[in-house]
Amino acid sequence: MATATPQRPQGQSMPTPQPTLGESLRRNGVSRRGFLKLCAATASLMALPPSMAPAIAAALESARRPSVIWLSFQECTGCTESLTRSFSPTVENLILDTISLDYHHTLQAAAGDAAEHAREEAMHANAGQYLVVVDGSLPGPRANPGYSTIAGISNYDMLMETVADAAAVIAVGSCAAFGGLPKADPNPSGAVAVQDLVKDKPVINVSGCPPLPMVITGVLAQYLTFGKLPELDEYNRPLAFFGQSIHDRCYRRPFYDKGLFAETFDDEGAKKGWCLYRLGCKGPMTYNACATMKWNGGVSWPVEAGAPCLGCSEPDFWDAGGFYDALSVPPGNSGDMLLAAGAAGVAVGAGAGLLARSKTKSAAKQHQTVTAAELEQKL
Amino acid sequence: MASIGDIPVKVEGEPAAPAEYGNALPVLSQVRHALAQLTQGGEPTQIDLGAMPFGPGDEDRLMALLGQGEVTASVDALGRTRIQETAYSGVWVVEYLNTDDQRVALHLEIDTVPRLLRSQPEDLSDALAALNTLLAASLDQA
């Protein structure tokens, strides 16, 4: 990782007062042009227009490194994998090095008592100011705590103790945000999401399985830069990244509007890159930034690789029917309208995504799904 | 650390020609509006191409449409930044790279001079102070 500020050994208390980000960058020989470049790239990272760069520069100049405690519960470490697989060293790393990551099972060198001691120390030293990042769901208060413990402490106790003095909680990944795979039917461990338990602190959900690395770091960067929490959607996700559906930002969208669909994974339509709606793409009901930020440093993303979107950033995506079944088609006129839009080549714009989203909720309850063949008959 | 480009990939058969996704022309239209704005009121615009829903080939198509102008510049600060004037005066491609030469952002700037190329105001007073110090020391020695 790039080292923008001197690394502090784990478990030592934080030196105060800390230098601002501007000071520590200059101390490390970063020129003002370098700083301007950092701000331009940070604007991209935060999905803000480039014209925001001067405002970001002014804010970053005086920003201080927030202390971050990262708790991993019932999870697969995919979220941390995503975070660390952002290419090194990058702007993300620079920003990561400018936060003070005081506790993280996978990334910290300390183990056992020393690790838990580091967590407690960071909590005391930064009471009321530190951020808690959680990945993974956790057994709820009425579930058997034995399903997931760390150092003999139940996940529930550790979360509630750690968030007590936190400024805010960031739930990273669909498990922490919505319960995810552990909560999938029949939910043997009684898994719940962070927002089901934390009611007296702001909770920001950064969903996805895993979330885009740029989105995880972008949310942290936004807090670091502006010192406040971002604007959120109805699921408490930052609007900057989750404000638009995959469908509305998809480069294959023009084919949907023309009614051109791939019917199988190897037909002419698939080869020509037509819309994957009939192959089960959940893009119209999925809100995430994959279509523009893409994966692996902007190389590609599932739809570009010819795979329909699984909808991994939406609540209960695991129980929402087959990944390769076309979206649930709700009864009623509006559902027919959506189908007609595809068939007749009517450009319905953002409306289709919103419509699909609201209708999918009711459809999910009734669990009425269609196969590509049935859809074909309706069309 | 090895980059994704280091992973050997063998493609069998002829790769298919990229499909026409038609996402380049709308951006070009946005550039035209920005250039008109610069011409009329002098207000510059930055466009983040990373925020565009580009399919494979769309970026190459846009770059081919924009062409190459007379000026190429490179800024070495926190990794390289490549700056290229396009065939349309006032339209610049600014590619920000990290220290491993991987792209961190790709912008279009519609301005007379890209922001990063200008001397930074704080640096000017620092430079003046440094020159004063140098001259004073030189005069003392003389």
Give the separation between CA B142 and CA B136, rounded to whole angstroms.
10
Least confident of A363-367, A371-375, B30-34: A363-367
Report the residue of A33, A35, A90 to disrupt the B interface, i.e. the one with the largest count of B CBs within 10 Å: A33
Q: Which one is predicted more confidently, A346 or B115?
A: B115
Query: Do β-strands B91-97 and B103-110 pair in parallel, antiparallel, or remain unpaired?
Result: antiparallel
| Residues of chain A with C-beta less than 8 angstroms from the C-beta of B55 | 251-252, 273, 304
Instruction: Say if A299 is an interface residue toward chain B (CB within 8 Å).
Output: yes
Nearest to A218 by CA among A248, A187, A251, A242: A242
- The arithmetic mean of pLDDT across residues B79-97, rounded, is 95
Which candidate from B98, B104, B116 shows the least CB-CB separation from A33?
Answer: B116
Whether A333 and A208 map to the same domain: the answer is no
Please say which residue of A221, A242, A263 terminates a domain: A242
pLDDT in tens, A346-361: 333 334 344 444 444 5
Whether A74 and A209 map to the same domain: the answer is yes
The chain-wide mean pLDDT, for chain A, equals 80
- Judged against a pLDDT cut of 90, whether residue B35 lies above it is answered with yes
pLDDT in tens, A43-62: 887 778 888 877 887 887 77
Give the separation between CA A250 and CA A274, rounded to whole angstroms.
11
Whether A26 and A163 map to the same domain: the answer is yes
Identify residues of B whose CB sits under 8 angstroms from chain A CBs: 1, 3-4, 16, 19, 21-23, 45-48, 50-56, 58, 75, 77-79, 81, 94, 96, 98-100, 102-105, 107, 115-116, 120, 122-123
Please say which residue of A182, A209, A242 terminates a domain: A242
Which candidate from B50, B55, B75 shows the least CB-CB separation from A33?
Answer: B75
Whether A169 and A289 map to the same domain: the answer is no
Please say which residue of A222, A242, A262 terminates a domain: A242
- The arithmetic mean of pLDDT across residues A224-248, rounded, is 90
Give the separation between CA A97 and CA A84, rounded to whole angstroms.
12
Report the residue of A44, A46, A212 to disrupt the B interface, i.e. the one with the largest count of B CBs within 10 Å: A44
Least confident of A29-33, A110-114, A135-139, B70-74: A29-33
- Judged against a pLDDT cut of 60, whether residue B98 lies above it is answered with yes
Q: Does residue A4 sit within a domain?
A: no
Whether A120 and A233 map to the same domain: the answer is yes
Q: Does residue A5 sit within a domain?
A: no
**Tokens in use for A57?**
């520069």
Whether A223 and A276 map to the same domain: the answer is no
Which candidate from A36, A254, A304 shows the least CB-CB separation from B116?
Answer: A36
Question: pTM of the full predicted structure?
Answer: 0.78
pLDDT in tens, B3-25: 667 788 887 887 666 667 888 88
- Judged against a pLDDT cut of 70, whether residue B90 lies above it is answered with yes
Q: Does residue A94 sit within a domain?
A: yes
Whether A61 and A200 map to the same domain: the answer is yes
Whether A74 and A115 map to the same domain: the answer is yes
Which residues touch A199 (CB under 8 Å, ≥6 apart)?
none
- The arithmetic mean of pLDDT across residues A194-208, rounded, is 96
Q: Give the pLDDT confidence score for residue A8 in this predicted structure.
A: 39
- Write out the DSSP string of A264-290: STTSHHHHTT-B-GGGT--GGG-B-SH
Give the separation between CA A89 and CA A28, rounded to whole angstroms.
15
Is A44–B104 a contact, with Cβ atoms under 8 angstroms apart?
yes
Question: Which CATH number is correct for B21-136, 3.30.460.90, 3.30.1370.140, 3.40.50.720, 3.40.395.10?
Answer: 3.30.1370.140
**Tokens in use for B5?**
């480009």
- The arithmetic mean of pLDDT across residues A269-295, rounded, is 93
ipTM attached to this prediction: 0.81
Q: How far apart are the first and last CA of chain B?
A: 52
- Judged against a pLDDT cut of 60, whether residue B34 lies above it is answered with yes
**Tokens in use for A156?**
């529930």
Estimate to the nearest angstrom the gap between the alpha carbon of A274 and the chain centroid: 27
Task: Identify the CATH number of the domain in which residue A361 sits.
Answer: 4.10.480.10
Domain that holds residue A279: 253-378
- Judged against a pLDDT cut of 50, whether residue B128 lies above it is answered with yes
- What is the DSSP secondary structure assignment for residue B90, as one 8-state letter? T
Q: Give the pLDDT confidence score for residue A123 in this predicted structure.
A: 93
Whether A69 and A174 map to the same domain: the answer is yes
- What is the DSSP secondary structure assignment for residue A368, as one 8-state letter? -
Whether A29 and A77 map to the same domain: the answer is yes
Q: Does residue A283 sit within a domain?
A: yes
Domain count, chain A: 2
Structural domain boundaries in chain B: 21-136
Q: How large a percentage of chain B has pLDDT more than 70?
A: 93
Q: Which one is predicted more confidently, B98 or A150?
A: A150
Q: How confident is the model at residue A22 (pLDDT cuts 50, 70, 90)?
A: confident
Which candidate from B1, B16, B107 shows the least CB-CB separation from A40?
Answer: B107
Instruction: Say if A88 is an interface residue toward chain B (CB within 8 Å).
Output: yes
Are B105 and A40 spatial neighbours (Cβ–Cβ below 8 Å)? Answer: yes
pLDDT in tens, A81-105: 888 766 534 544 555 566 777 888 7
Q: Which one is predicted more confidently, B36 or B53?
A: B36
Q: Which one is predicted more confidently, B89 or A376?
A: B89
Whether A138 and A226 map to the same domain: the answer is yes
